[in-house]
Structure 1
Amino acid sequence: MWQRIQTAVALIYPPRCMGCGELTETDFGLCGTCWRETPFIGGTVCESCGVPLPGIADGHRIECDDCMKTTRPWHDGRAALMYQGKARALVLALKHGDRPELARPAARWMTQAGRELFHPDMLVAPVPLHWTRLLKRRYNQSALLAQYLGKEAGLEVCPDLLLRRVQTPVLDGKTAAQRAETLENAISAHPKRVKRMQGRDVLLVDDVMTSGATLAACARVCLASGANHIFVLVLARVAKDA
C-alpha cells in the first residue's frame, strides 16, 4: 500500500533538480549540468576556514594567508562549497528565497565536508538570528542546516545555544575590522543552555563564511561560557577574490 502511495506521489510530483527545476532521478538532488556547475570544495584546504589551497597535504597544518594573519578563536573549520555560481544561487535561495527544503541536501554536503571535525559528545549549534529577522524570514537557515547535520552525523544539536541580542546591520561590504566591531557584544549564550556546552567541543554551523567575524564572535562566547574546543562548519566559503 505504501509503495503505491509513493508511486502515485512520484507521478504527480516527480523529483526535480534543486538548481534549475529539471527532472532528476531522485529527490533533493542536482541534475548533471547543475552538479558540474556547483563548486564543491575538495582536495587540499585551509584547516582553519576550509578554503581550497594549491598543493598536496604533507601532514603539517596548512592555512590560507587570511587565517595566518588573523588568529581564529576556533580550532578547525570546513566548508562544502565555494560561494560562487550555482552555489551562491542555492545559498541565496535558502537564505532569502523561502526554500527551506534546500537545507536537507545542503546538510548532507556539509556532513561530508566536515567529517574530520566530528568528535564524540560534540554539541552542534547554529549561528543565531535576531528575532526581527527570524520573524521576517520565518526560519533561521543556519538552524535548519544544524538540525539536518546533527541527524546525518549523529550529533546532539542545541538550536538556541546562542542568542543574537542586538539587531546588527547587514555586514555585506564591510571590512573584517568593521564586521568585528559591529558584532561586539551582539551575541550571548542562552542563560538556560550554558551548562550544555561546558567542557564539551562545540561545532558552530552557518550558511556562509566571509571574513569569519560572526563565527569568531560566536566562538568567543562559547569559550567564555566554558566550552572546550570550537569548530566551525559552513555551507559556503567566500573566496578573497569573490
Structure 2
Amino acid sequence: MLRAIYPSACMGCGELTAADFALCGGCWRDTPFLGGALCGLCARPLPGEAEPGLVCDDCHAQPPPWGAGRAVLRYRDGARRLVLALKHGDRTDLARPMGGWMARAAADLVRPGMLVVPVPLHRGRLWRRRYNQSALLAARLARELRIDRCPDALWRRRPTPSLSGDAGARHAALAGAIAPHPRRGARMRGRPVLLVDDVLTSGATLAACARAARAAGAEEICVIALARAAPDA
C-alpha cells in the first residue's frame, strides 16, 4: 500500500524507478562517477591507467596535510545538481545513498580505532541552513562502515566567505578559522581520523581541518569527499 502511495522515484528528476534511492537511466548517464586513474591524495582524475600509488603533479609539488584521499563523483552535470540539492535544496534524504557511495569509496582507508569527523559549519551558517550536509554524509558513512564518529570534533571559530578564487585565496581565508573543539576535540588524540566533506576543490578546507586534527593529536589523517571539482584528465 505504501509503495502504491509513495512509488520509488529517481533521486535526480523524480521519474519512477524500480527501487528507492536510485537514478533513472537518463540521470545515471548524466552523473559522472569517478573511476580509472586517480590521484591517491586528492582524487584528481589523471591520464593513463589506474594503478596504486598515483600522485598528481600538484600533490607532488605540495603534498596535502593528509595521507590519502578519495571522492565519488566529478563535480559537474547531474552530480553537481545532486550535490547542490543536498547542500542548498533541503534534500537531506540524499545523504543516505550518497553516504553509502562514500563508504564504498573509503572502505580501503578504514583503520582500527578510526574516527569519522565532518568538516564543520560556522554556527551562523548552520542556523540559516539548519543542517550540516557534511555531518549528514559522515553519519551515514560511519554507519555503513561501522566505525565511530564525532560530528563536532572540529569547530569553525569564525565565519569565512564563500570560497571562490584561486587556491592561495582559499587557504588565506581559512587560516586559523578551524580548530579542535574545546571539549570534544580530544577524541581525535591518538586515533586515525577520516575527514568528510561534500566537495573537494582546492583542498583548502580539508587542509585546515587536517591541520586542526593534527594539532589535536590525530595519528593518521585521510579524507573523503562526495565530489571532486577538477578539470577533465
TM (norm. structure 2) is 0.96
Which runs of 5 or more residues in structure 2 are unaligned?
A: none
State the distance in 1 between where 2:59 and 2:181 align: 29
Query: 2:40·2:69 contact (CA, 8 Å) conserved in 1?
Result: yes
State the distance in 1 between where 2:169 and 2:221 align: 23
The yes-or-no answer on 1:225 pairing with 2:225 is no
Name 2:185's counterpart in structure 1. 194
Task: Specify the structure having the higher radius of gyration (Cα).
Answer: 1
Name 1:5's counterpart in structure 2. none
State the distance in 1 between where 2:30 and 2:181 align: 40
State the distance in 2 between where 1:56 and 1:233 align: 22
Name 2:59's counterpart in structure 1. 67
The yes-or-no answer on 1:40 pairing with 2:46 is no
Residue by residue, what CA displacement relative to the aligned partner does 1:89-115 show, whole Å, maximum 9, x if unpaired? Answer: 000000011111111101111112122
Name 1:162's counterpart in structure 2. 154
Residue by residue, what CA displacement relative to the aligned partner does 1:113-137 show, whole Å, maximum 9, x if unpaired? Answer: 1221111210000000011111111
What does residue range 90-169 of structure 1 map to in structure 2 within 5 Å? 90-169=82-161
Q: Which moved more, 1:47-56 or 1:122-131?
A: 47-56
State the distance in 1 between where 2:122 and 2:185 align: 19
Count of residues paired in the alignment: 233
Name 1:29's counterpart in structure 2. 22
Distance apart, 1:11 and its partner CA: 0.6
The yes-or-no answer on 1:212 pairing with 2:212 is no
Query: 1:79·1:234 contact (CA, 8 Å) conserved in 2?
Result: yes
Point out 4+ residue stretches in structure 1 off by more than 2 angstroms.
56-59
Residue by residue, what CA displacement relative to the aligned partner does 1:116-175 show, whole Å, maximum 9, x if unpaired? Answer: 111121000000001111111110000000000000111111000000011000012x21
State the distance in 2 between where 1:237 and 1:218 align: 17
Residue by residue, what CA displacement relative to the aligned partner does 1:56-97 show, whole Å, maximum 9, x if unpaired? Answer: 2454x2111222222200000000000000000000000011
Query: 1:80·1:109 contact (CA, 8 Å) conserved in 2?
Result: yes
Which runs of 5 or more residues in structure 1 are unaligned?
A: 1-7
State the distance in 2 between where 1:194 and 1:166 align: 17
Three-state SS of the structure 1 residue aligned to 2:194 is: strand
Distance apart, 1:17 and its partner CA: 0.2
Three-state SS of the structure 2 residue aligned to 1:205 is: strand
Three-state SS of the structure 2 residue aligned to 1:206 is: strand
| Residue identity (%) | 58
State the distance in 2 between where 1:28 and 1:96 align: 19
Three-state SS of the structure 1 residue aligned to 2:108 is: coil
TM (norm. structure 1) is 0.93
